[in-house]
Amino acid sequence: MLERPNGVLAIVLASTVITSVCAYVVVSNAMVAQRYVSDAEQVVTLEPGAPALRRRYPEVEAFDTSVSFTIDNAPAVTRNAPQLPPATQVALAPADVAEPYTVVEGRPPVMPQPRPGVVTVPPIVEIVTMARNLDRARALAFPRPMERPGSTTTPAWPDQDTGPQTSILLAASSPRPSLRPAGLVTRVAAQPDRLGIEVARAEAPDTLGGVGESPRGGLFAGNSGECTARMARAIPRRPGSAAGGSAVMASAGNGSGSGRDNRMVQEALAGNVPSHIRDLQPVTFNGNVGGRTVEVTICVTPDYLAIGSDNDHVRVPMGLPAALRVADAFDMMLPTTTMVDAIYQQADVRVAPSPMTPGSAMSSTNYFLQHDETIDGQFASAGARDGMLVAGHKKDLVIANRLSRNPGRVAIYGWHRTNGRAIQPLSTVHGEYYADYSHGIRLVSRTAFVDGRAVDLRDLLTDDRYAGFLNGDGTLTGATVRLASL
């Protein structure tokens, strides 16, 4: 009961204190406002009879024209820069210093402090003065553009013998394709005999057209010669102790399939191949890309893959897995059907096909040996030499998009007759390990040339602009390229 009056008294006391503080604040603000009003009235009525204050600036003295007159009459032999009048401090007007003005606290000043006046000559006056001081002789004395030195002008050389010669280094780095040396390959001048041998000749076969012309728009052109020994450097050097082809085939037995293929792959990867297989030959195509004619050159082995020495070697058919292993190890790939056609058209020596009796023995090693002897006889009668580009004696294992659509199969094509028609159209009827006496492994370097510039052949075969005239199957799919590259 005694605590309640004390609480009431505390509340009353707090209210009284708050009211007093508020009243003090109100009265203080009113007094400050009244003081501001009084000060403003005092500023306005500093001098009742004086005119209102006006902002005044220092006056600029007129430019002394005598300076220009003096410059105009200066001697012509000397060049004097125009003289400017000295800077002069301008005294402030009496009105500016008569009475100090009052600045109200918390507000900007009524008048800014006057800036000391400095007489300056406008830039245009300097330009005009300098122009007046120039005569013709002085104006011509200023720097002028110099003529181009005569030594930089390249004269026309009508005589190539006396004209400037191209640097050997520049010529070596030229991207233009070089011509194939005339003495590199000598075409054989011979007439077909009773064996049905056909030597490369100028006239065209009935259907495909001769070298340099084709019913498909001039796809095949002459050899160009960019292929070098470096492109076959992935093929190992043949060991001196390597067995000849006859001994290798005898040790392989008369079987067939992957067992014999593995033995042939082992010999090939050890470098047991004749030396002319490393002598790659150019095969050239002409096509249209983006409205311009381009020349594409591929480099191919002159003959089908063989095992053994130069004097004792046997052309060895293989299944697709074995052929791809060898191609990948040699940094090469299998040809397309269009490439097979071009190789036949541009071959130095073409022979007629020599089929053997069909049957189950077609895949035997004995059939391989018999057919190889027949081919050697044909080339001997034609006068062919190792290293010449030869064709017509076997079918080719080829790369085609059908392989990606038919996994586990091998694609074969070719074996052209003397009229240019292929006996074997593109086919994938056989399993991937199948190989018979009529098959051959022609390898193509992965490095090709477009107008003399080295490129990856796989890039061309996956490019719509180039694949059209390099592959009758069109652009190779990614799956086909992976298959071709293992």
- The answer on pLDDT for 350 being more than 90 is yes
Last residue of a domain, one of 103, 133, 163: 133
Nearest to 362 by CA among 436, 260, 434: 436
Q: How many domains does the chain have?
A: 2
What is the DSSP code (8-state) at residue 153? S
Task: Verify that 280 and 405 share a domain, yes or no.
Answer: yes
Last residue of a domain, one of 111, 133, 155: 133
Tell which wins on pLDDT, 4 or 187. Answer: 4
Q: Is the residue at 138 inside a domain? A: no
- Count of beta carbons in the 10 Å neighbourhood of residue 323: 28
Residue showing tokens 């001769």: 210
Task: Verify that 128 and 186 share a domain, yes or no.
Answer: no
Q: Is the residue at 181 inside a domain? A: yes
Contact 285, 296 (CB under 8 A): yes
- State phi, psi for 225 to the nearest 5 degrees: 90, 25
Per residue in 140-185, pLDDT (tens digit) is 666 666 666 555 444 444 444 444 444 444 444 445 555 655 555 4
Task: Verify that 62 and 208 share a domain, yes or no.
Answer: no
Q: Is the residue at 274 inside a domain? A: yes
- Any long-range contacts for 100-107 (C-beta under 8 Å, 24+ apart)? 101/43, 101/46, 101/53, 102/39, 102/42, 102/43, 104/36, 104/39, 104/40, 104/43
Q: Is the residue at 292 inside a domain? A: yes
pLDDT of residue 58: 56
CA distance 8 to 11: 5
**3-class DSSP state of 288:** strand
Task: Verify that 442 and 359 share a domain, yes or no.
Answer: yes
Task: Give the mean model confidence (pLDDT) for residues 451-456.
Answer: 95
Task: Verify that 88 and 200 share a domain, yes or no.
Answer: no
Per residue in 259-301, pLDDT (tens digit) is 999 999 999 999 999 999 999 999 999 999 989 999 999 999 9
- The answer on pLDDT for 96 being more than 60 is no
Task: Give the mean model confidence (pLDDT) for residues 383-411.
Answer: 95
Task: Verify that 181 and 101 share a domain, yes or no.
Answer: no
Task: Verify that 263 and 340 share a domain, yes or no.
Answer: yes
Query: In sequence order, what DSSP letters do the residues of 302-323 get, joined into one string?
Result: SS--EEE-SSSEEE----HHHH
Q: What is the mean pLDDT of the chain?
A: 77
Task: Verify that 108 and 194 share a domain, yes or no.
Answer: no
Tell me the sheet residues that pair with 448: 455
- Residue 408, by phi and psi: left (phi above 0), alpha (psi -120 to 50) or beta? left
Task: List the domain range (segments joined by +) for residue 109.
Answer: 56-133
- The answer on pLDDT for 15 being more than 70 is yes
Contact 436, 368 (CB under 8 A): no
pLDDT of residue 162: 46
Q: Is the residue at 125 inside a domain? A: yes
Task: Verify that 228 and 313 share a domain, yes or no.
Answer: yes
Last residue of a domain, one of 133, 166, 201: 133
Enter the tokens of residue 285: 């195509």
Task: Verify that 474 and 360 share a domain, yes or no.
Answer: yes
Contact 274, 386 (CB under 8 A): yes
Nearest to 412 by CA among 428, 394, 433, 431: 428
CA distance 329 to 33: 102
Task: Verify that 128 and 184 share a domain, yes or no.
Answer: no
Task: Verify that 118 and 190 share a domain, yes or no.
Answer: no
Q: Is the residue at 312 inside a domain? A: yes
Compute the residue count for the chain: 486
Q: Is the residue at 341 inside a domain? A: yes
Contact 391, 339 (CB under 8 A): no
Q: Is the residue at 301 inside a domain? A: yes
